[in-house]
Every structure is written in C-alpha cells, then in structure tokens.
Chain A
C-alpha cells in the first residue's frame, strides 16, 4: 500500500494505491493522523486501490467519524473489487462515494 497526499488550503486529497489490509492499514492511519488538523474537505482517491479488508474499512470509518466533526469526506473512483466490498459491507450507505 502507498498513499500520496495533496493539500490545498483546507482541502486534503489522499490517493491510496495497492492493498489496504491488516498489515498496511495502521500505516495509513498513522500517516494521515497529523495531516487532518484544520482540514474541512477530505477526498480519498481510490482509483489505484486493489483491495480493502475490514482493517482498511476501519481506517476509513475512523476518518469518516473525524471528518463528521470538522467537515466533509468524499470517496472517489473506487474500482469494482473495492466497490463490491463497500456494498457487501453496507459501507456504501455510510460513505459519501462518487
């Protein structure tokens, strides 16, 4: 898993690529934590995300709960495999997916 952040004022875009699983999810969680202060718009670009496990979903849920207090969170471009996981787990009801 690799991720790249782009910041414009209070908008943070995170492009996540590879496999977001038990092993890599904590890296994303720790990596994004310090970046979130003062952010009102968080965009997760999942174009290159191949796989997401429940540990990855947990990080997304945590981000969604943080952003609920300070602004908006958007998930963009999930692939078919990732979208399947979202719909099976009902996460498509929780997340703002575009």
Chain B
C-alpha cells in the first residue's frame, strides 16, 4: 500500500527550501546594504579627493590681488583668458559639471571665472545661493568649514556635489573660492548597478544550491523518511507475515539510526506478538480445560429428566447455574433401593477448580456412604472424618442430606450448616423449616452430626437450595432474601418441580437485573405423590397428579 500524504502536509524539503530562500534574501539584503554604504563612502571620498585636488591646484596658482582688480574694473585681460582656458580644460579633463571662481557675498554669489558663462554673462555675474549653500561657502572661504563636499539637489541636473578651496591675496587674506561641481546622480546609478550584480550572483548561486540541495535532500532526507513512513504504515498489516522490516537506509546519520531502531522494534514486536500468542494459546488451553472440568462436573450431577421414567410416586427436578465456569455447589438424588430415595443439596466454600475438586470428593463420599446403607448422620460423620484427613485449604461443605422411604413418606434428614429447606404441605403454601443445624462437613475432626425424622404426605413438596438463591445480589448490594424466594415459590405453589425452579429463577433474574452473578445458584424440588400414584392423565396439570396421589 502506498502511503497517501494528507492534503495539509508539506514536504520537509520544501520547508527547508523556504527557510533557505528566506535566509538568502536576508543575507543578500545585508550584503547590498553594506556594500552600497561602503561603496558610496568610497566614491564620496574619491570626489572629495579629486574636488580638493582640482580646487586647491587652481586656487594656489591664482593671483588674489588680480581678482580684486577684476572685481573693481570688471574687464578681462590676457591673464583672465589664460585662467579661463585652464578652467575649461580641467573641466573637460575631470568630467566636472562646472568649475568656477566666485566670491560668496552677503546675498549672492558673485562670479569672477566660470566655464559656463553664456552670452552677456561675465565678471560680476551673480546668482542666488542654493539651499544651505551660503553658510558652507562662506565657511570654506574663511577656513571654518570641515565638510569638504556639499550636496545640493538641483531641479535641472539632479544631485550635485560641490568642492571649494579659498584663494588668498598677497596679504594672505581669503578673497575668492575656487569651486568644482560634480553631477553625482551617477553614484546612485553605480550603487544600483552594483547591487543588481550582487543580487544576480547571490540568486544564481542560490538556484544552483537549491538544485544540488534538493537532490541531496531527496536522497538523504525525504526518501528515507518516506521509506520509514511506508514501513510504519505497513507494519501492522505485515505482522502476521514473515516480512520483517529490513533497514536499507545508509545515510550514516540519525535517519540511519532511526531506521535501525525501527528494524529492531519490528523484530521485538514480532517476538512480543509471538509470546503473546503463546500466552493466549496457553490461556485458551486453560479455558478449554476449565470447560472440560465444567463438563465433567456437570455430568456428575443427574440431569436427565424425568429422572425415573415409569415412577409416578414422586416428581423431581434440579438445576445448577454456576457463577464461574466451575462451581462448588452440587445436588444429587439417587435410589438407595427400590423404596428409598436419597436427596443431597450441598455448597462447598470457595469457588473455581479448588471448590469443584472438593465437591467431587464430597459428592462421591456421601453417595457411597448412603449407598452402603448408612443413615444421613452416619454418612456425614464418616464423610467428615475422611475429608478432615487432608484439608490444607480449610475447605468445608454445607450439606443437606435426606433419605425418604417412598412407601411411607417418612424420612430422615441431616443438616450440616445448610440453608433451611422449604416445605409445602398439600394445597398449602411453601414455608421454611427452621431448626438448629449441625456445623458444616469438614470443619472439625470427630464431628457427630445430628439427624431428625420428618414425614411427607401425598401432595407435599420440598424445595432445597444453596445460598446463591437467598444471597443473589442486585447492583445496590441488596440481597434477594428468603422472603422474596418464598414469594416466588408461592406464586404458583401447585406448579410441578420444573416450573417451581423456573419461577424462582425468574424471580431472581427480575431482582438482580444486570448485576453479575457472584455465587452458584442450585435448586432441587420434589413433589411426593404417594406409593399408589399412577400415571397422570394430563401430564401438564399438576393438580390432577396430586389428586391422584391423594
């Protein structure tokens, strides 16, 4: 599967490139600014040098006294023309805008020589000062101005730089200024040209770098990351296959390290999953064993109904609903001989496999003792003695055990710490038979259990159960209780044993609702019909059956 990159995602390469372009622009800007500034300074320095050279050379060769005479007489002579020629030559030679000799007066500048006199302009021609020009020119004349160049924005020519040097007379007094004007718009043009060259160079280099860098980034950054991304996406899909990630990134940096770590992780993950599968398999085996144990346990309890086809002197039904897979409750019923029926209801303390093992032993011991002809108390005495021989887990079992003579309805029962049975006399209601019980089986050595006699008459019913019934708990921790159990029993007291059990179970289900079942729920119900009972005509109608029994 090809990993689709989400629409919002940007390539790491593009991000790095964007960062690089931005950095380049900033660096180019800084280079341009620094070179422009220093270049401009250099050029100004050059103009200062040339300007000072021209003006000082001319000024030093001029006769200051002669200038005063031109000012007074106003007529040019031979000397004047020689100087003018020199000025014109110098102007051409140095590509200056203007060269002139002038006297900065109070309001105007008065010219003596100028290379650009035209028409009637001659000695004594005046112009106004440019902005700020007066202070500077007078300053230069009297030697109190250090600024060598004066920049002026001329509306016709653009920016002009002026250099000036004073001419002294024979008394050593300054009388005039030699000035040279340079058109310096070219400075800006030159700086601009230089910046263009710089920018072009930088961006050409950047383009070359980007191409090289992109190739590098693709090979050493983007593709390895994409490989890892694909591997990570495919990891979960390939886990069940023998297809571990093999690192083929050789960037010799963190990415290769990551790739190797990923390879290691894949291997470890597979190991972990293998282990987990083994554990799960082991767990499943245990569960299967538990199920088998539950089946074995269940098969120990008589569960075929009707249990004694062809016998109509009693009707019996029993059920066990374990809370865990295997429980500690059990019931049992069996014929000791043709006329004697044994009934067992028991509850082993605790839950799970330990309880179920104890239950199996208890059940077999009780059954074999009773089958040997022992009375309920004798059977429990001997069972107790055998269970107490090895009982490291302090387990015990509550047992209600009865043997009924089916011919007479007379019975003997022993109650070793078990719940009170419920009895229902013919046409009456179910009620609890409350009496003092013996302690549970396997609590003390050499126990002597008590037993008592009872009698069932045709139509009478017995209901025995474990504490899972009375102690069924709802989500508020409230107990179902014996009262509610009796209510369920008496909902239809004439019901046959199977329905009686269903009525109680329904009552419990309705009470506990969704709460988890904590204890095994085991019940047994028997209706005694008397020795003369015959097959009921209406098998569904229990009333008829009882009437027949009577």
Contacts and interface: CB of A to CB of B under 8 A. Distances in A.
Q: Verify that A and B bind, or say they do not.
A: yes
B443 A94 contact: yes
A88 B435 CA distance: 8
B349 A58 contact: yes
B254 to A, nearest CB: 51
A50 to B, nearest CB: 9
A72 to B, nearest CB: 16
B518 interface: yes
A90 B349 contact: no
B438 interface: yes
Interface string B386-413: 0000000011101000000000000000
Contact of B437 (A22, A65, A87): A87
Given A53-B471, A53-B519, A90-B438, A61 B477 contact: no
Main secondary structure of the interface of A (DSSP, over half): helix
A57 to B, nearest CB: 6
Nearest to B519: A22
A57 B439 CA distance: 11
Interface stretch (B223-231, B414-422, B532-540): B414-422
Contacts of A89: 398, 417-418, 437, 439-440
A37 interface: no
A95 B223 CA distance: 79
26 contacts: A22-B518, A22-B519, A51-B479, A53-B467, A53-B471, A54-B349, A54-B467, A55-B349, A55-B350, A58-B349, A58-B394, A58-B395, A58-B396, A61-B349, A61-B394, A62-B394, A65-B394, A87-B437, A89-B418, A89-B437, A89-B439, A90-B416, A90-B438, A90-B439, A91-B439, A94-B443
Interface residues of A, number: 20
* Candidate in A53, A55, A89 with the most chain B CB atoms within 10 angstroms: A89
A88 B347 contact: no
Nearest to B349: A58
A62 B398 CA distance: 15
A91 to B, nearest CB: 6
Nearest to A63: B394
B444 interface: yes
Nearest to B417: A89
B10 interface: no
Contact of B436 (A19, A22, A87): A87
Contacts of B420: 88
Nearest to B477: A19
A89 B518 CA distance: 20
Contacts of B479: 51
A88 B437 contact: yes
Contacts of A55: 349-351
A43 B456 CA distance: 45
Given A65-B394, A89-B439, 8 more contacts: A23-B518, A58-B395, A61-B349, A88-B420, A89-B440, A90-B415, A90-B416, A93-B438
A21 interface: yes
B346 to A, nearest CB: 11
Interface of B: 347, 349-351, 394-396, 398, 415-420, 436-440, 443-444, 467, 471, 477, 479, 518-519
Contact of A61 (B347, B396, B418, B438): B396
Contacts of A58: 349-350, 394-396
Contacts of A87: 436-437
B417 A88 contact: yes
Interface of A: 19, 21-23, 51, 53-55, 57-58, 61-62, 65, 87-91, 93-94
Nearest 4 interchain pairs by C-beta: A90-B439, A62-B394, A89-B417, A58-B349
Contacts of B417: 88-91
A90 B396 contact: no
B484 to A, nearest CB: 16
* Candidate in A58, A90, A91 with the most chain B CB atoms within 10 angstroms: A90
A52 to B, nearest CB: 10
A89 B420 CA distance: 9
B399 to A, nearest CB: 11
A89 B436 CA distance: 9
A81 to B, nearest CB: 9
Nearest to A66: B394
Nearest to B436: A87
B437 A57 contact: no
A94 B446 CA distance: 12
A58 B508 CA distance: 25
B280 to A, nearest CB: 26
B97 to A, nearest CB: 108
Nearest to B420: A88
Nearest to B394: A62
* Candidate in A22, A51, A53, A54 with the most chain B CB atoms within 10 angstroms: A54
B330 to A, nearest CB: 14
Contacts of A62: 394
Contact of A57 (B349, B351, B519): B349
B349 to A, nearest CB: 4
Contacts of A23: 518
Nearest to B416: A90
A58 B392 CA distance: 12
B439 A22 contact: no
Contacts of A21: 518
A88 B349 CA distance: 15
A94 B394 CA distance: 14
A54 B417 CA distance: 10
A57 B438 CA distance: 14
A58 B438 CA distance: 16
B398 A54 contact: yes
Nearest to A62: B394
